[in-house]
Chains A and B, each alone.
Chain A
């Protein structure tokens, strides 16, 4: 609405970043975060170096995304491009898994396992290693650029860069044989895309982990926004129990005037340890990634003061309402089970079982036939009608397999190939398909003049101990009407 009065003071269009110097803390959640960090980084850096014996015809890297040959290896599982639905299924499971986790324990993904969180945490430990804890870091930040500061910054950023480079370097190992690629990389023989990928990932890790940090979560990432929509009053979030803490007051004041102040002594330890610099006592916010370090910090203070822990704690909004009304706190484990989490678990499990079943029952041998359509048929000099087909025999096992292809139906039909001469045409032929390959065969099928257009089958049978096979129905074109 129009108002003649001009704005009294200009709005701030842009916000200057307030640097965050989180304090080191110890406690149950910090130790859990250490564990998750070791696990996630360990899995990321070590996985490409695991070996897995697949015999002489397949790579021996346990996890390998072989883009050049369009194969995806994961331990005993090998996936071809047409089986990519397994990966799609895993992605759907990952999505529903996130719904499940978010519904149960809020932004646990943000707080513990998100790469941005893990690498930021790692870089903040580097800060502490080189510059010292929170106060020392703040002093150094404010200090003039003396030789000592330049040296410290140099060392720190060099470590940043080293971690970033290692991170980028580990990524490409998933796409080629890791030991070979490492040698190729350092001798300049790797593909340009390998160097480019390492360069880009080194730069992003260095920038996002070393400098952008919480800015990524607050301004760049869409996930906190989406996650907010998935939380409800039954989800566990990190909560400051204001009905217990307020009004804040010092220990002295509490001793002097019992009952007039709450448990919060306004020590600001919860803010000091927060990796995004947020004050949880202001309530839930997009800045709170629910890493729970403030719980550790507050518990430590409460223990020192001889007060019960959990002034800041994981709690659902429902629990908060009941506690505020005087109810007793509910154990966290009970909060995990409610309708939504159970439904998500059921869906997640059903998809998982479905994928496992599909994996167990998938066929490793396959025939696909494509008929030449131009011309649909041609006549031989002896009057025979010839149809041409491209028959693809797929051997998805990591060893060569002898296979037999037979014509089923089509009376009088005979076939030959580029390898089997015309005068040796037969109703069945045997080929050995190389390990992990598709063998395309040109098959020429003839039937006596007068044969009506009809359908017949190519039957594929594996001629080894494992057995198995497949059938493909195709058309035989000829002059005249179909019977």
Chain B
């Protein structure tokens, strides 16, 4: 091994190692370099003392500073919630109709509502709020129970036909066919009439015979003009939006068996600020109606306020 010699081209001494003609020159590192190595070792010892480091049988050492990733997450969440506190308090303090679209508070509330919507609402209404058969789209301009922010807030708080909430929005359509109120032929005629209102079926003999049946049985809730009533959550039957499907078969099925969709009363599950933010988010989806001054009570307000 000790085959030391001076390397000719560089003038540097070799360390005496040689592998197949490849030799190692002795260009020693500076002394301070080794001190940096010692420093890293000292740092590592200190690190092991103050931070969790040594694995034990069931857990590990906790370290003098008591740091843990869960603890850090908890602290960060706490800080984030505290940072939100002021905004949430401002939203809580402002009546929903006073939060103007486009304002900073409105934008923050919509953002908060978007997050809450993804947790609580998408299961039925869909991630894009486009709804599903039986679960209304929240993007259109057709509202069963009212489409201004205050109405939406009421709907979310008390739900629809929610058994646990006395103030829930409620109505019940009779099962005209199943309970024998109308014969199958009458159901067929009234369905033809309803579809003819929006031009989806011809105004033929069946539809004309259905008109009288409609006036006698349906108009009390859906109105003589069939444009629905928000007091009963009775849908407008003359427009293009069909919650349970707009084909002849589907309408016949709806008249025969009726529908009574249920939405939970979220007031029992979510805090009022979250509900307010949800209402503003739903209102912001492009179909929200303007708040009209001096409203009547929600139950007494009739539909068709919107052009």
Contacts and interface: CB of A to CB of B under 8 A. Distances in A.
A215 B36 CA distance: 14
B286 A374 contact: no
B286 A386 contact: yes
Contacts of A422: 141
Interface string B259-290: 00000000000000000000000001011001
A374 B127 CA distance: 7
B126 A7 contact: no
Interface stretch (A178-186, A377-385, A400-408): A377-385
B130 A374 contact: yes
Interface stretch (B40-48, B148-156, B157-165, B233-241): B233-241
Contact of A444 (B2, B3, B15, B286): B286
B30 A17 contact: yes
A382 B239 contact: yes
A374 B126 CA distance: 9
Interface residues of B, number: 39
A12 B127 contact: no
Interface string A343-381: 000000000000000000000000000001111001111
B307 interface: yes
Interface in B70-103: 101-102
A209 to B, nearest CB: 16
Given A2-B1, A219-B33, A419 B140 contact: no
Nearest to A17: B30
B108 interface: no
Contacts of A442: 286
Contacts of A5: 2
A378 B130 contact: yes
A466 interface: no
Contacts of A374: 126-128, 130
A375 B18 CA distance: 72
Q: Does more than half of chain A's interface fall in helix, strand or loop, or is it mixed?
A: loop
Given A3-B2, A219-B33, A379-B240, A423 B130 contact: no
A1 interface: yes
Contact of B102 (A17, A378, A418): A418
Nearest to B199: A383
Interface string B38-65: 0000000000000000000000000000
Nearest to B29: A14
Interface in A438-455: 442, 444, 449
A11 interface: yes
A68 interface: no
A334 B106 CA distance: 72
A231 to B, nearest CB: 17
Contacts of A16: 30-31
Given A380-B141, A442-B286, A3 B28 contact: no
A375 B130 contact: yes
B242 to A, nearest CB: 9
Q: Does more than half of chain B's interface fall in helix, strand or loop, or is it mixed?
A: loop
B266 to A, nearest CB: 23
B34 interface: yes
Given A381-B236, A381-B241, A423-B307, A215 B30 contact: yes
B114 interface: no
A378 B287 CA distance: 11
Contact of A15 (B29, B102, B141): B29
A346 to B, nearest CB: 36
Contacts of A282: 11
A14 B33 contact: yes
A4 B214 CA distance: 115
A383 B142 CA distance: 11
B5 to A, nearest CB: 12
A388 B4 contact: no
B126 A15 contact: no
Contacts of A14: 28-31, 33-34
A13 interface: yes
A7 B4 contact: yes
A15 B239 contact: no
Given A374-B128, A380-B241, A381-B241, 11 more contacts: A1-B18, A7-B1, A7-B4, A11-B15, A14-B31, A15-B31, A219-B33, A373-B128, A378-B139, A419-B102, A442-B286
Interface of A: 1-3, 5-8, 11-17, 215, 219, 282, 372-375, 378-383, 386, 388, 418-419, 421-423, 442, 444, 449
16 contacts: A1-B3, A3-B1, A3-B3, A5-B2, A7-B1, A13-B28, A15-B28, A15-B29, A17-B32, A215-B30, A374-B128, A374-B130, A375-B139, A381-B140, A382-B240, A419-B102
Interface of B: 1-4, 11, 13, 15-16, 18, 26, 28-34, 101-102, 126-130, 137, 139-142, 198, 236, 239-241, 284, 286-287, 290, 307
Top 9 A-B pairs, shortest CB-CB distance: A375-B130, A374-B128, A383-B240, A381-B239, A381-B142, A378-B139, A7-B2, A15-B28, A375-B128
